[in-house]
Amino acid sequence: MNRTLFIGAGGVGRVALLKAAQHPEIFDDIVFASRTVSKCEKIVADAAFPRDIPTEQVDADSVEELVALFKRYQPNLVVNLALPYQDLTIMEACLAAGAHYIDTANYESPELAHFCYGPQWAMHDRFRSAGLMALLGCGFDPGVTSVYTAYAKKHIFDRMDTVDIIDCNAGDHGYPFATNFNPEINIREVSAKGRYYENGRWIETDPLELKRVYDFPAGIGPKDMYLLYHEEMESLVKNYPEIRRIRFWMTFGQSYLTHLQVLKNVGMTGIEPVEFEGHQIVPLQFLKKLLPDPASLGPRTVGKTCIGCLISGEKDGQPRQYYVYNVCDHQEAFKELGAQAVSYTTGVPAALSAALVTGGIWRAEGVFNIEQFDPDPFMEKIGAWGLPWEETFSPNPVE
Ligand code: NDP
């Protein structure tokens, strides 16, 4: 008997929970907890699971509360779909209660707009001594893009030279400004300085300084995309030191960027508390309150996402280009699980990763990134789970 505990009832948590519930042959038993238990109850009501899914309220910032919950339910695996702020507390509680751990985003402190794997990698020896596994970055990017890179190294290249991770959301939700996942995390990511890796060093750019136009497949066509720093680059250069250059690109429409610039100019994206009529408020948290809840965008979002890796390198002495990607339709995702494609493309790989860990197919002791495991079982199943992949050996280049 294995029991999986999911934490976080946002857009991503909804998709992961409902996708896992479609596979009772893998998940014997599921528990769902979040800060607002009514959100768990609403999601569970839509689950096609043949057994009861208990729901619980928990403050995942509190190790004590988490340990009490874990001791009560004794999960084998905890899937963290709350926010990056809770990674370390949930990992601590897993160590205390003897559960494996999965997440989709690396740790970030609420007070500092900076993220890196350091604090989570530092727990490697503790997980190893406890005989437990922590698997980091199991969404789409990081997650599927990391598996795509591992797959390319295993099957397509003898040596990878350059990797461009390209994330296009060509969806339209009809609002002048909204974010497709947690607004606070999204805006912190986009307003940060850009960074990419070349010839052994990291090169920093101003936020959104580097722009390219990329002609996307599946009828999406040309879109503006901008260089951002993204966490999977940190683990990929560590695990594949042969990579000479790695960059991450994300598409943004002009309306999104104009709104973001204005909000930044007037101080609404700040993370330092300001005093307002006797209260301390964090501008970005207040802005989050005003923006549409990403989980509510599903019914009104149309269009597609296209996320993948464009890799160059060498096979049998010959240069080679390779582009592997998924196209996901917002309305199809909504029809199946009641969520837009950004939540869908994150929650489905989290559920499949949980299935591979629960089934003992991916298993080791310590803290790992997803590309450190055999990509084949994941690549074999991810299409049937809802995110089929396509590949081409003559991709459009990133100029
Ligand atoms: P949401 O903000 O929609 O959902 C987060 C959920 O976590 C909410 O239900 C929230 O509770 C809950 N939560 C927040 N704080 C706590 C806490 N202290 N204790 C318990 N529960 C808490 O975010 P998303 O669903 O959009 O994103 C979830 C995660 O997925 C994030 O970490 C995000 O960075 C990551 N992500 C990863 C991607 C990838 O490809 N790797 C892509 C997109 C997202 P409440 O409902 O009360 O607010």
How do residues 133-161 score in pLDDT, each as one tens digit? 999 999 999 999 999 999 999 999 999 99
How do residues 193-210 score in pLDDT, each as one tens digit? 999 999 999 999 999 999
Q: Which atom of ligand 1 is closest in space to residue 346's alpha carbon?
A: 40
CA dist 49 → 8, 22, 52 (Å)? 18, 6, 7
- Pick from 384, 387, 372, 246: nearest CA to 325: 387
b/e 141-163 (16+ beta carbons within 10 angstroms → b): bbbbbbbbbbbbbeebbeebebb
Assess whether the C-beta atom of 143 lies below 6 angstroms from ligand 1.
yes
* Cα-to-centroid distance, 25 and ligand 1 (Å): 27
pLDDT score of 159: 98
* Cα-to-centroid distance, 348 and ligand 1 (Å): 15
Average pLDDT over residues 301-310: 97
Assess whether the C-beta atom of 185 lies below 6 angstroms from ligand 1.
yes
Per-residue pLDDT band at 77 (split at 50, 70, 90): very high
Assess whether the C-beta atom of 346 lies below 6 angstroms from ligand 1.
yes
**278 — alpha (psi -120 to 50), left (phi > 0) or beta?**
left
Per-residue pLDDT band at 14 (split at 50, 70, 90): very high
Per-residue pLDDT band at 296 (split at 50, 70, 90): confident
Does pLDDT of 399 surpass 80? Answer: no
Assess whether the C-beta atom of 250 lies below 6 angstroms from ligand 1.
no
| Three-state secondary structure string covering the chain | CCEEEEECCCHHHHHHHHHHHCCCCCCCEEEEEECCHHHHHHHHCCCCCCCCCCEEECCCCCHHHHHHHHHHHCCCEEEECCCHHHHHHHHHHHHHHCCEEEECCCCECCCCCCECCHHHHCCHHHHHHCCCEEEECCECCCEHHHHHHHHHHHHHCCEEEEEEEEEEECCECCCCCCCCCCHHHHHHHHHCCEEEEECCEEEEECCCCCEEEEEECCCCEEEEEEEECCCHHHHHHHHCCCCCEEEEEEECCHHHHHHHHHHHHCCCCCCCCEEECCEEECHHHHHHHHCCCHHHCHHHCECEEEEEEEEEEEECCEEEEEEEEEEEEHHHHHHHHCCCHHHHHHHHHHHHHHHHHHCCCCCCCEEEEHHHCCHHHHHHHHCCCCCCEEEECCCCCCC
The two structure tokens encoding residue 103: 């997440």
How do residues 166-192 score in pLDDT, each as one tens digit? 999 999 999 999 998 888 888 888 888
Average pLDDT over residues 103-131: 94
Assess whether the C-beta atom of 16 lies below 6 angstroms from ligand 1.
no
How do residues 312-329 score in pLDDT, each as one tens digit? 999 999 999 999 999 999
- Whole-number average pLDDT of the chain: 96
pTM of the entire predicted model: 0.96
Assess whether the C-beta atom of 20 lies below 6 angstroms from ligand 1.
no
* CA gap 361, 353 in Å, rounded: 10
How do residues 360-370 score in pLDDT, each as one tens digit? 999 999 999 99
Q: What is the largest CA-CA distance in the chain?
A: 68
- What the chain holds in terms of domains, given with CATH numbers, is 3-136 (3.40.50.720), 144-338+384-392 (3.30.360.10)
List CB contacts of 294: < 8 A, sequence separation 6 or more. 10, 11, 178, 179, 180, 181, 182, 183, 340, 342, 343
Q: Which atom of ligand 1 is closest in space to residue 84's alpha carbon?
A: 32
